[in-house]
Chain A
């Protein structure tokens, strides 16, 4: 006996789109690659928050991670540029059109090595965008060399140990001006989702460093960026909850163990204490926490630092409200009298 019941209607979000509107192309990364989980989280987050996909602009550098923007949000414009230079391209584009919601997805090679100059100066500018680092400690496309985020003593597949100290991109972020800094693990679906949602709601530069194991070159015994290592050493600071601005849910008060941070768009970040009592608005505490975490070999994850009220580059520049890119000629070409006056002064 068979019935020909129609498939259940797909769930739609608050702007009436179902999740297919947020999907990208089929991934060409390895099976089990942490980056694929991150692409899935990004897809879900933008869908669940009801972000208009064509308002988003995706950016990346070069490497496995930088292929990711092709695997989510097909309806958003994307720009896969040159190695380490996604900050420049995204900064230019977001200055040209301040209405875009920019998301950069790059790797640890992009961010901590070839493009570290661009990375640190991007931090200083605090131009609103989400900057995701898919951090696996190796160069996958060139077959497994250490990156600059590989931990001291972490081993390559061949057994060779890394003998240089790692660069902590979150520490740099906090130190140099990012206004939301978080670390997560590609295997922690719930935490990563909540952090990404917070970064969408945040106005300012968000740095999201996600430990994302490379199953082919860095998932073995002795690696500190493997699934097994993260299962043992991931130390969430708090349960990260996110209440979007459009949800009229009365927030339970009185648990005592929850820190709440109201973000720019009115959404609320709810951080429920687990073991630590980390105040993410305390910059010095966040820096101390990361140093301690590095010493202990544990990987502290969660929202490390957030400063919801901040001055962005757009504010500093006092830009007009409309995108610069499409201002009409009358607003960008001064009148003839203005030129005549200048010519007169030069006579």
Chain B
């Protein structure tokens, strides 16, 4: 939406302030983005979270994105908060309201703004000299922080709270909600720190109210669109899902952006999974020496019957390749979360990408194929964690949950998670009694015709329960073989098993629009931008679309039908090589493939609606 600003409006120093009445028509309410530019390690995260939470508490749909470097302290970082009365919580390309706290990037930050944007900045930076077409708000942060924070060592941190106060004043945030958000952020144990920071908020607020004249059009007004919602990041949601899925063994090697998934699990485990009777742990977590060991332990534990998992990112997926092939061929359940980041190699380790799809679907040498679940919200991180364990044990194979940095590490508004409705499904596991009744068993025989054999767990108390698991050639009895017919029989059954999974993986979310010639197909975090883009296409260009939100690989039976009902289907994904499209091409006939188009974004930032809309508009000739 273009800004309807009077072109005469410029810096507050230079321009006459418009009268209250004039500004009424130009107000932009609950539909803009705020960017806070700071230095990482400066403690700005707390101030940013308080700001985001305040807007959320005022009932306005909001999202927060942390754009951070691969660095501990001292490099630039940007936090973007988007308020959207329409409920769009994907990234907004344009920044409307800047808080420039980082002298290193301030110049570039300001020069990058569109005309009419607002910029709060540290007075000595004199940013107002750079442009004439912005609303500048100089703030003497150092002068303001000194009286409220006598301890000079803490000033660097507390200073951030000053901008919360200033922004609260400029955007008409409810100060009481700021206080609540701050108390929530610090928690009851850090009441003293909360008090200190609250003093800074009040100082910033009071100073701004007295000294700054509001000239920009942006403000927040109370709504009721966040009632009952929660704020959570995808990694915590996935962790919670795994804990409620009954996961018992977690092994990992720290890697951005997946580390916080396991760290959240450890915290939830400690809280929820200590046996009340004995005080002992119903879980084991091992920080392994590398990703090979991590996934190896997952496979060992899965073989022994535990619900076991690991979480990693692209480089870890590459390292896990050999073991995943073993899990596939020896048919061992395992759950692997891939919180995708930008590759290849180290790539951009703190940026987001849907870049591991093709690798993961076919991970390891020989003929292999693996199911992938594609969560598109924190809630789906939670539910799909549970589905992943059920599928892994039901189909006795590694199952991947493909999230990404944007979903995993950013805070999202979400409905509260539903308690799992169904009991845990452990798959075909024979007890000693079963083995006795059957007079033995053959591990890899397809008794039920679904491609899945029966297994026993090591330690099953029966002389005929044991079998020998191997990654080398084996027959139905799990005996070593190099015979071509034995090999082909087993490897063909594995394919049948995979085919059979189509009916059991999460179904897509599909909406047919009878008037639409065009379908949009997307998955994961692209959904936030894609949903907004659909609205842009319709309102701005009169282009109606259907959509298909893919939620799993292998593809389910809905896919061909969706393609058939549209002249063109845009497959939207966040990678260069159209990886998901490539997987579809492996599955579909030529006529359907001919209807598929590709829209890709791979700059490492979360996908935004405008980028998609622009691309589709060009393709469609609108």
Once A81-B296, A82-B471, A318-B281 are accepted as A-B contacts, the answer to whether A324 and B248 lie under 8 Å apart by CB is: yes
Please tell me which one of the listed residues B240, B297, B416, B466 contacts residue A91 in the complex, with CB atoms under 8 A apart.
B297
Given contacts A93-B300, A325-B457, contact A85 B292 (CB under 8 A): yes
Is A159 part of the binding interface, using a Cβ–Cβ cutoff of 8 Å?
A: no
Is B459 a contact partner of A57 (Cβ separation < 8 A)?
A: yes
Within 8 A of A (CB), among B393-431: 416-417, 419-420, 423-424
A69, B466: Cα distance in complex, Å: 13
- Chain A residues closer than 8 Å to B464, beta-carbon distance: 75
User: With contacts A95-B249, A329-B423, A334-B243 known, is A324 near B466, CB below 8 A?
Assistant: no
Q: How far is the CB of B313 from chain A (nearest CB, A)?
A: 19
Cβ of B194 < 8 Å from any Cβ of A? no
| B459 near A334: Cβ-Cβ < 8 Å | no
Are B424 and A88 within 8 A (Cβ)? no
With A82-B326, A329-B424, A339-B244 already in contact, the answer to whether A319 and B284 are too (CB < 8 A) is yes
Selected interface stretch from A96-104, A195-203, A225-233: A96-104
| Chain B residue with Cβ nearest A77 | B458
A326–B460 CA distance with the chains assembled, in angstroms: 11
Contact B301 A53 (CB under 8 A): no
Cβ-based interface call for B246 (8 A): yes
Distance to closest chain A CB from B417 (angstroms): 6
If A54-B466, A57-B459, A327-B248 touch, does A319 touch B293 (CB 8 Å cutoff)? no
Say whether, besides A77-B466, A326-B305, A334-B273, A347 and B248 are in contact (CB < 8 Å).
no
- 61-100 of chain A: CB within 8 A of chain B: 69-70, 74-82, 85, 87-97, 99-100
- Confirm or deny: B304 has a beta carbon within 8 angstroms of a beta carbon on chain A: yes
For residue B594, CB closer than 8 A to chain A, the reply is: no
The segment out of B26-34, B166-174, B227-235, B346-354 that lies at the interface is: B227-235
Which has the most chain B C-beta neighbours within 10 Å: A91, A93, A327, A342? A93
Q: Which residues of B contact A338 (CB under 8 A)?
A: 272
Look across to chain A and name the residue whose beta carbon is closest to the beta carbon of B465: A54
Say yes or no for A333: interface residue by CB 8 A criterion. yes
Most buried by A among B232, B322, B416, B423: B416
Interface residues in B, total, Cβ within 8 A? 75
Any B CB within 8 A of the CB of A32? no
Q: Mark B298-342, 1 if CB is under 8 A from A, else 0.
A: 111111111110000000000000110010001000000000000
Q: Does A310 sit at the interface, judged by CB under 8 A?
A: no
A residues near B272, Cβ cutoff 8 Å? 334, 338
CB distance from B577 to the nearest CB of A (A): 29
| A336 at the B interface (CB under 8 A) | yes
Interface: B15 (CB within 8 A): no
A297 within 8 Å of B (CB atoms): no
Nearest CB of chain A from residue B168's CB, rounded to whole Å: 21
- Across the two chains, which residue of chain B brings its CB closest to A347? B230
Q: A91-B297, A92-B251 are in contact. Are A332 and B281 (CB under 8 A)?
A: no
B292's closest neighbor in chain A, by CB?
Answer: A85
Point out the residues of chain A lying under 8 angstroms from B322, CB to CB: 82
Q: Which residue of A lies closest to B230 (CB)?
A: A346
The answer to whether B300 and A53 touch across the interface, beta carbons within 8 angstroms, is no
Contact B460 A319 (CB under 8 A): no
Complex contacts, A53 vs chain B, CB 8 Å: 463, 466
Q: Does A251 contact B (CB under 8 A)?
A: no
**Is B468 part of the contact surface with A, judged by Cβ < 8 Å?**
yes
Contact status B467-A77, CB under 8 Å? yes
Check if A321 sits within 8 Å of B304, measured CB to CB.
Answer: no
Q: Top 6 A-B pairs ranked by shortest CB distance?
A: A88-B296, A92-B300, A92-B297, A325-B305, A96-B306, A77-B458
6 additional A-B pairs beyond A54-B462, A79-B330, A347-B416, beta carbons within 8 Å, are: A54-B465, A78-B466, A85-B296, A91-B286, A323-B304, A324-B283
